[in-house]
Amino acid sequence: MDEPLQVLISADMEGVAGIVHASETNPERYDYERGRRLVTAEVNAAIAGVFEAEPTAVVRVADAHGSYRNLLPEELDRRVTLIRGKPRAWGMLGGLTDKVDALLFIGYHGRAGSSPAVLAHTMTDALLDVRIDGRPMGEIGLNTLLAGSFGVPVVLLSGDDAAGAEFRDLVPEATVVEVKRSLGQTSAESLHPQEARERIQAATTIAIDGRDRVPVLRSTGPVTVEVELHGPSAVELAMLIPGIRRTAAARTITFPARDMAEAYRLVQLLVQISQLKPT
């Protein structure tokens, strides 16, 4: 008997239709509750698309924005399980294993420094750039490479046009759903939320049906990681970690990693360090 299809959905917020400002993605801001409803609805659309293609699929959803506590559990499709809260081993890809058959990115955004791109950043505003073997990588690239280290293909991404272009550059065979056109860091021309959801659902069904045509993006063997940090104190704290050194650029550190999984863990640690205040 065949094993059921295993699907993981990673849900961020900045790439959701209608969202253009931190007030809609930050729990301390006035419009956050609307943002929570919008992202939960887009995730439900993707879930519906998965089950339309594979009614017996096992679907897990990883809340992948900020605190990892944004999706509204009571409004999420009851056929799935929800992975929320932090810290956790694989960050935005909580629940990732080599048993996953297909990975979806919902509500994703462009990397730090990409312009124009709605709410562009890489994990935190304190990381100005992350490079893997010299190539700039945002959350899209880092997560796609991490998935690849487990042999898992990323078959679909939804977000703005900048995020779509970034993803296509990595995996041109995958499906992209552009729910808004970026006009700048905090402005966009967006689809109506219901229209966006319908497109996500339809595209997800197609992506799941065609998952075998999407290659796995692999980074084999050791990698060299460079991270440009915003503040000098973060650089000094990071250099307390064995193996990390400063480059000729004052705000950039570098380290070797045995593989992409190790690189991802260290970048997650640098995110936490970059947010510490000197005592």
pLDDT above 70 coverage of the chain, percent: 99
Look up the pTM and report it.
Answer: 0.97
Give the closest residue to 108 by CA, choosing from 46, 59, 195, 192.
46
| Confidence at residue 1, expressed as pLDDT on a 0 to 100 scale | 62
Q: For 4-26, how does the pLDDT look when each residue is reduced to its tens digit (9 = 90+)?
A: 999 999 999 999 999 999 999 99
Are the C-beta atoms of 218 and 148 separated by less than 8 Å? yes
Q: For 188-231, how does the pLDDT look when each residue is reduced to its tens digit (9 = 90+)?
A: 999 999 999 999 999 999 999 999 999 999 988 899 999 999 88
| Confidence at residue 80, expressed as pLDDT on a 0 to 100 scale | 98
Q: Which two tokens stand for residue 142?
A: 């880092």
| Confidence at residue 277, expressed as pLDDT on a 0 to 100 scale | 75
Q: Which two tokens stand for residue 187?
A: 């402005």
The pLDDT of 40-45, averaged and rounded, is 99
Which of helix, strand or coil describes residue 143?
helix
Domains of the chain with bracketed CATH = 6-122+140-213 (3.40.50.10780)
| Confidence at residue 250, expressed as pLDDT on a 0 to 100 scale | 86
Q: Residue 276's pLDDT band (boundaries 50, 70, 90)?
A: confident
Q: For 123-151, how does the pLDDT look when each residue is reduced to its tens digit (9 = 90+)?
A: 999 999 999 999 999 999 999 999 999 99
Residue partners of 265: CB distance under 8 A and separation at least 6? 89
The pLDDT of 54-62, averaged and rounded, is 98
Note if the bond before 222 is cis, omega within 30 degrees.
no
Q: For 105-126, how does the pLDDT look when each residue is reduced to its tens digit (9 = 90+)?
A: 999 999 998 889 999 999 999 9
| Confidence at residue 221, expressed as pLDDT on a 0 to 100 scale | 84
Strand order in the sheet with 154-160: 81-83, 58-63, 6-11, 102-108, 154-160, 175-184, 187-190
Does 35 score more than 70 pLDDT? yes
Does 155 score more than 90 pLDDT? yes
Averaged confidence pLDDT in the chain: 96
Q: For 165-174, how does the pLDDT look when each residue is reduced to its tens digit (9 = 90+)?
A: 999 999 999 9
pLDDT above 90 coverage of the chain, percent: 89
